[in-house]
Chain A
Amino acid sequence: MSVPVMTVPGEPPAATPAGVAVRAAGLRKTYGKGETAVQALAGVDVTFARGGFTAIMGPSGSGKSTLMHCLAGLDTATAGQVWLGDTELTALRDDALTALRRQRIGFVFQAFNLLPALPARENIVLPMQLAGSRPDPVWFDDVVARLGLRERLGHRPHELSGGQQQRVAIARALLPRPDVVFADEPTGNLDSRSGAEVLGLLRSSVRETGQTVVMVTHDPSAAAYADRVVLLADGRLAGELTDPTAETVLDALRGLGA
């Protein structure tokens, strides 16, 4: 059932086809040097369609987080290229990359998503403020309402539950209408009910507003919210699934020996 992704090794296409949000070609990442070197990514070629909800899955240590960090411009690749739309991230210097992150990429992490000193509202608008732009108030209200945060805007992170904190992080990620939202195990610290809530919100933002979302997860039932699952093993792509269900994902993971 795993369909190999079409690749043209060493010869990346000159332009990103329309409809593709993020694309990586020949992506390698090596930690350390010599004897102790660890190859976290051993040549990954992958594309993520605009308006799609993709889950990245694989055994622990397979390189999921590393892939996401490189795709999001949080970490530099050892070799290979990453494009966000028509912009090659791997060619940008730190300041340009930073500016791009705050305008075109949204993040949701597993934990420590919010600045403890700032109330929820400030946390949500922070990336836009850093970019020097103002959020569209109608869109802001819309996002806040959909995430059910209207009553919570004045609270500081330590006054919010884990699920609420993740919803604030999602609101922050969605507010600038980024090209793509990356989420690394966004439900890893939540109970199943709050987890389902968060995943539902991510999915509805894809369905209702055409937001592109890429999510790393360990949980097959979380992956089932996605349109597509990309499987990773030992730093390489190891197949993918479309329209996954918890069962098909479990089967595929078993196939990887996880």
Chain B
Amino acid sequence: MRSVLIAQLRAHAARLVASTLAIVIAVGFVVATLVLNATARSTVLEAVGAQYVGAAAVVTSTDGASLADDVDTLAGLGSVAAVAPSYETSVQAGIPGRVGSQYLFVESVADDAALRWQRMTEGALPDGPGEVAVSERARAEVGDVLTVTSYDETGGESTSEATVTGIVDLSGDPQAGLFGRAFVTADQARQWGAVDPVELRVAAAPGAGDEQVRSDAATALGDRQVEVLTGSERADEAAANMLGNAMALTAVLLVFGTVAVVVAGLVIANTFAVLLAQRTRELALLRCVGATARQVRRGVLGEALVTGLVSSATGAVAGIGLAALVSALVGGAESPIPLAGISVPWYAPLAGVVVGTLVTFLAALAPARAATRVAPLAALRPVDQAPLRSRPGVLRLVLGLLLLLPGVGLMAVGVTAGDVLIALPGGVLSFLGVVLLAQRGVPPVVAAAGRLAGRLGGVPARLAAGNATRNPRRTAATATALLIGVTLTSAFVVGAASTRATAQAGLAAEFPTDVVVEGFSGELPATLVGTLAGTEGVERGASVLAGTVTGPDGEPTGAYGVDRDEATAALRSTEDLVLPGPGQASVPEWLAQTWDVADGDRLTLGGGDPDVEVPARELTVRVIDADNPLLLDAAELRALAPDAALGQVWLRLADSDPERQVDVVDRITDVVAEASPDSQVTGLVTMRAEIDEILDALLLVVTGLLGVAVVIALIGVGNTLALSVVERRQENGLLRALGLTRGQLRGLLAWEAVLVAGVAAVLGVLIGGAYGLIGAASLLGEIGTIVLDVPWLQIGVIVAVATAAGLLASVLPARRAARTAPVAAIAA
């Protein structure tokens, strides 16, 4: 049989191209996904956990106590090469050519090269005092001399100068645009007021592993309140903190990986099933001339194994290449998509080859069994005279329902509990159920759509409707492949839209102000609000008074006063930051605990200045998040603290891209610096815009990758049509003889493609939309209030594109069919 197998492979090389292509693309897709996942992860890690990835271990104080004295302890360990304490402080820096000063966050640079993680855009890291490297956000140039105002522990102010030696590249770090960062030697950092390092980064001695360093350090510091992690663990943690919710991130990646493997598997299975079904006759002929059933089966499976192995290997290589290409195209310093270089985890190509080969082999099992069951005489009967009736498939129905129902149940539980780890297996189970049931469900829908099309498209459409339902199994297989792709794409689009809406609402609630201007040491001039509100790019401003009041415990405490209407207009959201009206007080949680008040309680506040007699006021309490100040109505505050003055200005910027908003924040900084040199400008707006951009980019990448699944499915549509054309050569010849023009014959195939693709697209969008909403609800349930959002436009585009692509897939087979000579009907 081996010679037959080889002859078969050779003779059918052309036909195998189609299935090979499907496997190559599918495996390439899996591998590229895994590689891109790994790359994105490592890029985020590198950007956000950059300072940790190079370290063997990281020691963090858990009680805030200084670790300065532990440096020598650790440095003495045999497995440790160097220890770098992280000193942090902040300064105000004047930059040549710019009015006023800006806030710089200062970090110490390690002495040891192994612990120096900074990538330089330009220049070098500082080597001694008087030198500083800054991030791009500082907008200084190499050689600039900064005038640095620093503050010691007691608030004493001192001024020094520092020369910029280099610019540090922080691309990939979402916080890079938030404020400028400065990097100096540890000595310089201490001079600028840094005290008590709470974090030590440890480099390994040659030959020592990270884990060994970690355990040595943990043992050495056994009696201290510290957490000791390996560098990569700490980096993971930092990345997770940065990305909000580590659980959610892992879940998203998990979902995506599962999806990739499931799609690929099903598409390969479908394509191969269609291809082998075509050869039933040929296999029956082999039986006719004396091959045993076993020989035929072994031949088919051998063929599948060889095909699967060769094309999976090709696909793995193609996938890595694709990932490198994507990374090179969309990555880079300016891109918000966290992709840099390429990391190929060992399991990616392996998984690709194993999945591809295994699935091809499994896909061939059923047709191989069917082929051996075919009576040898089948080879001699004319092809497809009687329409095929799909067997009842009770097993399929039962299995489908057994998967679908518990799956739906699990999803329901997942949504209610807000737990994606329950909903995910439910989704996979129910989706497998859907795929099994599609075999039964799709043909009737296609038939119904066909009746509709017949009314619209005349004879060719009617014939196409008949053809499309003639071999329900094949139609179902073809449609299912597309259905899978469309379902998953729409699930992601809908899910991402909801995630995005929820994230936006969450961000707005958490960071309701775009920009806050705060007097650094004292009050702001009252005219500042008007000046800032008139600055280009600023939409609204609100003034916030600062004063002192006395609480029920008799202690003076700082309070802010706002005009509710004015302030509401300047905020993105008042969900978390509830603003008080007259007679109300918004009390942060910690203060509410101190004063022992709860929502709705009455609270009596007195004047803050013991020298000025003012009547006490009774206010209704509303407890708000702990990270807010005590908020009162502006008029109430003025009554309690007549000397209250402008303490903060809240600004809302016009919506635009992050770069433009950075410019606006710079303009504001300049304006503020002129009016009140001693003030601080914090612009959270850029962070929001950047997170937005990252979500957009991720959505684009994911949709693009799933688009690949749709492309594979469309190859399936083209493939099925091509096979139908071969199979219906006689029939098409007869139609041509009876008066079907070439154009009408092309139309017939186009209608057939549109029917199958259109039905698959519509069903896919419906099912996928539901999955997307369920996914978002269960995924975000853990995080907070869910905002569901259905992007109708994108949904419409998906249906249109899938249908149009189906049409496109019919072009080549249709051309071939149109070339069928009318005599083919008789000459066959």
Q: Which residues of A contact B (CB under 8 A)?
A: 65, 69, 72, 74-75, 94-95, 98-99, 101-103, 107, 109-118, 126-127, 129-132, 156-158, 172, 184
User: A126–B462 Cα gap in the complex (Å)?
Assistant: 11
Quick check: is B489 within 8 A (CB to CB) of the other chain? Answer: no
B153 within 8 Å of A (CB atoms): no
Question: Can you list 30 A-B pairs, Cβ within 8 angstroms, ordered by A?
Answer: A65-B826, A69-B826, A74-B737, A94-B741, A94-B742, A95-B742, A98-B740, A98-B742, A101-B822, A102-B738, A107-B737, A109-B826, A111-B382, A112-B382, A112-B826, A114-B734, A116-B384, A116-B385, A116-B470, A116-B731, A117-B466, A117-B467, A118-B463, A126-B738, A130-B739, A130-B740, A132-B458, A158-B385, A158-B386, A172-B738
In contact, A129 and B459 (Cβ under 8 angstroms) = yes
* Residues of A close to B735: CB separation below 8 A: 115
Query: In the complex, what distance in Å separates the CA atom of A172 from the CA atom of B738?
Result: 9
Which residues does chain A contribute within 8 Å of B382, judged by CB atoms?
111-112
Q: A98-B736, A112-B826, A130-B738 are in contact. List 5 more A-B contacts (CB 8 A).
A: A74-B823, A102-B738, A102-B739, A112-B382, A130-B739
CB distance from B160 to the nearest CB of A (A): 90
Query: Does the CB pair B825–A75 fall under 8 Å?
Result: no
B743 at the interface (CB under 8 A from A): yes
The answer, yes or no, to whether B686 is at the interface (CB within 8 Å) is: no
What 4 A-B pairs have minimum CB-CB distances, sorted nearest first?
A102-B739, A158-B386, A117-B466, A74-B822
Most buried by B among A111, A114, A115: A115
Point out which of A102, A130, A132, A157 has the most chain B C-beta atoms below 10 A from its C-beta.
Answer: A130
The proximity string for B residues 367-386 relative to A, scoring 1 for CB distances below 8 Å and 0 otherwise, is 00000000000000010111
Bound complex: CA A95 to CA B744 (Å): 10
Contacts of B394 in A (CB 8 A): none
Cα distance A158–B384 in the bound complex, in angstroms: 10
| Residue among B466, B467, B741, B821 with the highest chain A CB neighbour number at 10 A | B741
Q: Does the CB pair B737–A101 fall under 8 Å?
A: yes
Residue of A nearest to B469 (CB): A117
Indicate if B730 sits at the interface (CB-CB under 8 A): yes
**With A112-B382, A130-B744 in contact, do A69 and B823 touch (Cβ < 8 Å)?**
yes
Closest chain-A Cβ to B725's Cβ sits at a distance in Å of 15
Of the residues A99, A110, A112, contact of B741 by C-beta under 8 Å: A99
**Closest A residue to B460 using CB positions:** A130
Instruction: List, in ascending order, chain A residues with CB within 8 A of B739's CB.
Output: 98-99, 101-103, 127, 130-131
Which residues of A sit under 8 angstroms from B822, Cβ to Cβ?
Answer: 74-75, 101
Instruction: Please indicate the chain B residues that have their CB under 8 angstroms from the CB of A107 in the complex.
Output: 737-738
B345 at the interface (CB under 8 A from A): no
Using A102-B738, A117-B387, A158-B387 as known contacts, say yes or no to A112 and B823 having CB atoms under 8 A apart. Answer: no
- Please indicate the chain A residues that have their CB under 8 angstroms from the CB of B740 in the complex: 98, 102, 130
Closest-CB distance, A85 to chain B (whole angstroms) = 17
Q: B14 at interface (Cβ–Cβ under 8 A)?
A: no
Cβ-neighbour of A116 out of B387, B738, B741, B826 (below 8 A)? B387
Least Cβ distance of B261 to chain A in Å?
Answer: 38
Task: Point out the residues of chain B lying under 8 angstroms from A113, CB to CB.
Answer: 734
Q: Of residues 719 to 741 in B, which have CB atoms within 8 Å of A's CB atoms? A: 730-731, 734-741
Give the Cβ gap from A124 to chain B, nearest Cβ, in Å: 11
Indicate whether A112 sits within 8 Å of B730 (C-beta atoms), given known contacts A94-B742, A127-B739, A130-B738: yes
Contact of A95 with B743 in the complex, beta carbons under 8 Å = yes
Contact A95 B741 (CB under 8 A): yes
B793 at the interface (CB under 8 A from A): no
Flag if B826 contacts A184 (CB, 8 Å): yes
Which residues of the partner chain B approach A117 to less than 8 Å between Cβ atoms?
387, 463, 466-467, 470
User: What residues on A are CB-neighbors of B463 within 8 Å?
Assistant: 115, 117-118
- B828 an interface residue at 8 Å Cβ cutoff? yes
Chain B residues near A95 (CB-CB < 8 A): 741-743
Quote the shortest CB–CB distance from B460 to chain A (angstroms): 9
Contact across chains for B734 and A115 when beta carbons are under 8 A apart: yes
A94 contact set on B, CB distance < 8 A: 741-742
- Complex CA–CA separation, A112 to B727 (angstroms): 13
CA distance A130 to B735 in the complex (A): 10
- Shortest distance from the beta carbon of B253 to any chain A beta carbon, whole Å: 47
A65 CA to B742 CA in the complex, in Å? 23
CA distance A116 to B739 in the complex (A): 17
- Across the interface, name the chain B residue whose C-beta is closest to A114: B734
Residues of B close to A69: CB separation below 8 A: 823, 826
- B466:A75 contact, CB within 8 angstroms: no
Q: Which residues of B contact A129 (CB under 8 A)?
A: 459
Which residues of chain B (798-828) have a CB below 8 Å from chain A? Answer: 821-823, 825-828
Residues in chain A near residue B459, CB distance under 8 A:
126, 129-130
A-chain residues with CB within 8 Å of residue B738 when the two chains form the complex = 101-102, 107, 126-127, 130, 172
CB neighbours (8 Å) of A112 from chain B are: 382, 730-731, 734, 825-826, 828
Contacting residues of chain B (624-676) with chain A, CB-CB under 8 angstroms: none
Q: Complex formed: what's the CA distance from A5 to B466 in Å?
A: 48
Chain B residue at minimal CB-CB distance from A74: B822
Complex CA gap A69/B824 in Å reads 11
Docked CA distance A118–B386 (Å): 11
Cβ of B731: which chain A residues have Cβ within 8 Å of it?
Answer: 112, 115-116
Q: Report B736-760 CB contacts with A as 1/0, cut-off 8 Å.
A: 1111111110000000000000000
Query: Using Cβ atoms and an 8 Å threshold, which residues of chain A touch B744?
Result: 130
B296 to chain A, nearest CB (A): 27
> A residues within 8 A CB of B466?
115, 117-118
User: Do the beta carbons of B737 and A156 come within 8 Å of each other?
Assistant: no
CB distance from B696 to the nearest CB of A (A): 48
Q: Using a CB-CB cutoff of 8 Å, which residues 169-215 of chain B contact chain A?
A: none
